[in-house]
Amino acid sequence: MFSAMRSRHASLLSLSRSALKTTTPALHANRISIRMTHKKALTLESINPAVLDVQYAVRGELALKADKYMHQLEDGDKSLPFDKVVTANIGNPQQKGLNQRPITYWRQVISLLENPMLMEEHLDVIKTIYPADVIRRAQSLHKEIGSVGAYTHSKGVLQIRQRVAKFIEKRDGYPSDPEMIFLTAGASAGVSQILGLALKPGDGAMIPIPQYPLYTATLSYIHGKPIPYYLNEDAEWSTNTAALREGVAKAKQDGTPIKALVVINPGNPTGACLTREAMEDVVRLCYEESILLLADEVYQRNIFNNDTKPFISFKEVVKSMDKDIADSVELVSFHSISKGVSGECGRRGGYFELCNIEPDVVDQIYKMASVTLCPPVTGQVGVDLLVNPPVEGDESYEQWKEETSLTHENLASRSKYMQERFSQLPNMSCQPADGAMYLFPRIDIPEKAIKEAEKRGKAPDVMYTLDLLDATGICAVAGSGFGQEPGTFHMRVTALCPGVEEYVDKIEKFHKDWIRKYE
């Protein structure tokens, strides 16, 4: 695609250079000649070539087209075959039209921190509309943080990091050190920081296929090499040792040093929760090969089958293994306020925890964090509310419980409903999700459609999702944006849409028509 852009650009350039602009006096002619020969500093040829290699399908061509349709509808255009655009392409729970309501407790606390005068000068009034525990929490956070408009420590507010450590200890049963916890502007920012620090140009990082494209995008930008390992679709998208070891062998053969291994658990886009056995295999590999393990655990709260497929953290797995492994496997685990029932992605908050990282390297991570000054402060507050929610007996507890349970159940039931209906469609199969907020159904694309896609210069699944958008207003991302076994095709849809029945009806109708057309 980029080579096409380059040549388009080159032809535009030569066009403007060859353009004849005859005018009278000398001064004007002189100006034109200067203008025509002025060389731009930034062109596709002159900028950082790593940038050209970055791909990020989640917000690419499809999202731009969806944007266009949305504007058309807002402008009263009646020519489209749908009356709304359904953005099932990004995990953006509180987006307009999706209507996942923010957790009331969060917003009450943060509104007080944003305007402490409400507590200082209008406490009597506020007491009539806010529960007492909200006010206590805000007062205590205000005392710790001061103004949410001030920079904090570059690692984040110490007291919040202390509570994150307690949360991790309670979750895993192993000690956690607040000094090894760094608050971040969402998990993405943390992932970029760590990959950018860990990899020399040319180093490799193992990434699952399918993956969330942040990983390949970041690797492209830092001149790193993705080393793919395929997840096993037939085993509910689990990792498997053979595929992992194959990836390692191939990298060694290519002479690529393997610096890191990324696991997304629960999976994005797959929704899979890994078993302890599968996780131990990964950890053992990292131990044997001296590979940094990056555990993207941002969906750890979105678990649908807690009895049969619970979330287990990599920190717990590492620490529960043989002492040699427990004390040496280097692990960075990421969490976020964006993706749990909180869904506060616009706030940009999250954290990572370092485990078994050399102190000298921790110092370097801290230095790099300090260049970005500090994570957004109300994002840090969000982390505090995530790891330390109201407890039974608190005035807000019942409402918090009700709201978070409802969001959680909605996600789980929509996911199940969608999976069951997708599984019944011709030319479609769909693994059930154990968690997260996506499904990644497989589409059996007829040969005729593959030929048509070739003609249109699109990947077959990209053509499918573009056609789906054109026909229904539903915006889903093609599997090729995440990676998939060659010859297979998928799409990722979120389970965030209210009115799921109508939504699946539309996909079903489109899908059947489309398959029929090309069969």
* One of 65, 82, 95, 470 touching a second copy (CB under 8 A): 95
Beta bridge partners, 355, equal 331
> Widest CA span of the chain, in angstroms?
86
Smallest gap from Cβ 28 to a second copy, in A, equals 10
Interface characters, 179-218, with a second copy (x: CB under 8 A): ------xx-xx------xxxxxx------------x--xx
Decide: is 481 part of the binding site for a second copy (CB under 8 A). no
The verdict on 404 binding a second copy (CB under 8 A) reads: no
- What CA–CA distance (Å, rounded) separates 220 from 323? 36
Residue 430 in contact with a second copy, rule: CB under 8 A: no
Contacts of 195 (CB under 8 A, 6+ apart): 205, 215, 218, 219, 222, 224, 260, 294
Residue 46 or residue 306: which is nearer to a second copy going by CB? 46
Residues near a second copy (CB under 8 A), total: 108
Q: Does 248 bind a second copy (CB under 8 A)?
A: no
- Tell me how far, at minimum, the Cβ of 474 lies from a second copy, in Å: 18
Quote the strand ranges of 235-363, DSSP E.
Answer: 258-264, 292-296, 331-336, 350-355
Q: Is 424 in the site for a second copy (CB under 8 A)?
A: no
**Complex with a second copy: residue 319 or 347, whichever CB lies closer:** 347
Q: How far is the CB of 428 from a second copy (least distance, A)?
A: 28
Least distance from a second copy to the Cβ atom of residue 112, Å = 7
Cα–Cα distance between 93 and 336 in angstroms, integer? 14
Judged by CB under 8 A, does residue 15 bind a second copy? no
484 binds a second copy (CB under 8 A): no
Strands 438-439 and 491-494: antiparallel
Cβ proximity to a second copy, 78 vs 373, nearer residue:
373
**Which residue among 223, 284, 506, 512 contacts a second copy (CB under 8 A)?**
223
Q: Which is nearer to a second copy, 1 or 455 (CB)?
A: 1
In the complex, least distance from residue 508 CB atom to a second copy, rounded to whole angstroms: 28
Residue list 114-153, contact with a second copy (CB under 8 A): 114-118, 122, 125, 128-129, 146-153
According to the binding rule CB under 8 A, does residue 360 interact with a second copy? yes
72, 92, 159, 410: which one binds a second copy (CB under 8 A): 92
Taking the least distance from each CB to a second copy, the nearer of 309 and 348 is 348
Give residues 285-304 in contact with a second copy (rule: CB under 8 A): 286-287, 290-292
Q: Is 407 in the site for a second copy (CB under 8 A)?
A: no
Would you give the binding string for a second copy spanning residues 16-55, x where CB under 8 A is met?
A: ---------------x--xx--xxxxxxx-xxxx-xx-x-
The span from the CA of 315 to the CA of 329, in Å, is 10
State the residue for tokens 């998208």. Answer: 237
Nearer to a second copy, 52 or 243 (CB): 52
Indicate the SS3 state at residue 67.
helix
Which residues have a Cβ under 8 Å from the Cβ of 501 and sit 6 or more positions away?
417
Q: Do 203 and 254 contact (CB within 8 A), yes or no?
A: no
- What are φ and ψ of residue 229, in 5° steps? -130, 135
Options 14, 23, 140, 372; binder of a second copy; rule CB under 8 A: 372
Give the residue from 186, 492, 148, 476 showing the smallest Cα distance to 345: 186
Instruction: List, in order, residues 6 or more apart from 457 with CB less than 8 Å away.
Output: none
* 111 forms part of the interface with a second copy (CB under 8 A): yes
Check: CB of residue 227 under 8 Å from CB of residue 206.
yes
Q: Any long-range contacts for 59-66 (C-beta under 8 Å, 24+ apart)?
A: 59/89, 59/90, 60/481, 61/462, 61/466, 62/89, 62/462, 62/465, 62/466, 62/469, 62/475, 62/477, 62/478, 63/89, 63/90, 63/475, 65/466, 65/469, 66/469, 66/473, 66/475
Does 323 interact with a second copy (rule: CB under 8 A)?
yes
Interior angle at CA 511, CA 510 and CA 516, nearest 5: 100
**Site of tokens 């970005």:** 372
Nearer to a second copy, 108 or 396 (CB): 108
Residue 472: exposure state from Cβ atoms within 10 A (0-12, 13-18, ≥19): buried
Given the rule CB under 8 A, which of 76-84, 237-245, 298-306, 367-375 is the region that contacts a second copy?
367-375
